Amino acid sequence: MAQKVYVVEGRQFRTQSDYARAVHDKGIIDKLRKETDLQDKAQLEQLRTDLKNGKYKFMTLLGQDFRDEVEERLKAAGTGKKQTSGKHRGQGKRQDSGKGARGGGTAGGASPGQEGQEIGEAVLDELRKRDRRRKLIIALCSVAAAGCLGYFGIYSYYNYRTSSTYESLSSLRDTRASGPSVAAPAATPQFTLDDAPEEPREVLEEFKILLNKNQKLIGWLKIDDTNIDYPVMQTVDNEYYLDHNLNQEYDRNGSIFMDKDCDILKPSTNYILYGHHMKSGQMFGYLDRYSSEKYYEEHPYIQFDTIYERGTYQVMYVFRSHVYSEDEIAFKYYQFIDVNSEQEFDSYMQEMAEMSYYDTGVTAEYGDQLLTLSTCDYQEKDGRFVVVAKKIAKE
C-alpha cells in the first residue's frame, strides 16, 4: 500500500506533522509576498536582510526556497530580467522526499548537512517519546488486567464458597428424618422484645444441628424453582450479616437475615428479611423478577420456617420504595413490624396495595402473620425492591 504524500509549494512531505509545519511556513511566505513589492529592488533588499537576521522563523525547506526566490529576484532586478513567481518556480524545483522537511530552512541559513542533523535528532527524539508512551500504556494495561483478574478470582472464590456452604447446610437440614435426635441449645432470649419470660419452645428437628453451629440461626427461607434456599440469621446488629455467613466467616455475599426488631417468639406482625441483590443471582439477586406478574404466577408461594414452626406464605404485594430520611413523612415499609390496632394494620395494607405493581387478589386481615423480603434496587438512590406475603398455612 503506497504511503500517503502531502504536497506544499511543490515539495512533498510524508507525515502530517511535517505537512503542518509546511503549511505554517507557507502562511508566512504568502503574507510576505502580499506585503512586499517583489519588483521593487529596495523592498527586496530589505526583505533579504530581514530573512538573514532571522526576523521570520521557518520550520521547513520552504523557508530556504523563499530566500532563494528573493535572491533570484534581486539578480533579475539588477539585470532587468523578468522573474517568474515563487509558486511556479517552486513547482519547477525537485520534489523533496520529506527528508530534511522538519526543522530545515531556518532563518539562519543552515547548510543541508546541518539541517539533516537537526532533522535526524528531532526524529530520534520523537521516536523515543513514542516508545516511552507505548511502554507506559502497556504497563498500565498490564496493571489493569491483573487487577481485573484478581477481582474476578476473588469474586468467583466467594461465589463458589457461598454455594458450597449453603449446599452443605441444606444437606444437614435435610438429614433430620434419617438421623437420630440431636439436642438443641436453649432458645436465645435476645430475640424476645417482651421483658416477660417466654415459655421454652421445642426447636424443630431439622434445625438442631444447624443451631449448634450458630445460635443466631432463626429459620430457613425457600422459594421453589428459584435459587432462594437459605438459612435466615438474626442478631442485635443489622450490619453484621451484610458480610458474614452462618459460619461467621467474612463473605461478601452476606446472609439472609431478619430485622433486629422482629421477634419469632412473640411473634411480630411482620417478619422483615433482608438480603443482598447480588449480580451472580445469589441471596436476593433474582428477587426483582417478581416485578413481572407472570413470574409471580409461577412462584406465588414462599416457604419460611422459623426454628420453632413451619409456614407457607402467599405473595400479596410487589413494589419499589427507598430509604427515607428520618424527618420525611411517608410510608416506611421497613418500620412496619408491629401494629397497635386494626385501623393501623388496614392503613398499611392500603399503602402497599397502592404501591404494588399488580393486583394478586390476595389480601390480609388484622391478626394475619406477614412476611416481607427486601433487597437493594439500583433504579434510584437508596432504592429497595420489596415482596410482601401473608401466612396461609403451617405444617
The model's pLDDT over 363-374, given as tens digits with 9 standing for 90+, comes to 999 999 999 999
Average pLDDT over residues 20-39: 90
Q: Please determine, for residue 97, whether its predicted confidence score (pLDDT) is greater than 50.
A: no
**How much is the pLDDT for 297?**
97
Q: Please determine, for residue 125, whether its predicted confidence score (pLDDT) is greater than 80.
A: no
Q: Are strands 217-222 and 383-393 parallel, antiparallel or unpaired?
A: unpaired
SS (H, E, C) the chain: CCCCCEEECCEEECCHHHHHHHHHHHHHHHHHHHHCCCCCHHHHHHHHHHHHCCCCCCCCCHHHHHHHHHHHHHHHHHHCCCCCCHHHHHHHCCCCCCCCCCCCCCCCCCCHHHHHHHHHHHHHHHHHHHHHHHHHHHHHHHHHHHHHHHHHHHHHHHHHHHHHHHHHHHHHHHCCCCCCCCCCCCCCHHHCCCCCCCCCCCCCHHHHHHHHHCCCEEEEEECCCCCCEEEEECCCCCCHHHCECCCCCECCCCCEEECCCCCCCCCCCEEEEECCECCCCCECCCHHHHHCHHHHHHCCEEEEEECCCCCEEEEEEEEEEECCCCCCCCCCHHHCCCCCCHHHHHHHHHHHHHHCCCCCCCCCCCCCCEEEEEEEECCCCCEEEEEEEEEEECC
Exposure on the CB side of residue 345, measured as CA atoms within 13 A = 17
Q: How confident is the model at residue 308 (pLDDT cuts 50, 70, 90)?
A: very high
CA–CA gap between residue 288 and residue 290 (Å, rounded): 5
> Measuring CA to CA, how many Å separate 167 from each of 154, 170, 171?
20, 5, 6
Q: How confident is the model at residue 190 (pLDDT cuts 50, 70, 90)?
A: very low
**How much is the pLDDT for 389?**
98
Q: How confident is the model at residue 164 (pLDDT cuts 50, 70, 90)?
A: low
Average pLDDT over residues 325-332: 92
**Using an 8 Å Cβ cutoff, are 275 and 252 in contact?**
no
Average pLDDT over residues 328-332: 92
Mean pLDDT computed over every residue of the chain: 82
CA–CA gap between residue 329 and residue 119 (Å, rounded): 75
Domains of the chain: 6-110 (no CATH), 156-393 (2.40.260.10)
**How much is the pLDDT for 38?**
84
**How much is the pLDDT for 318?**
98
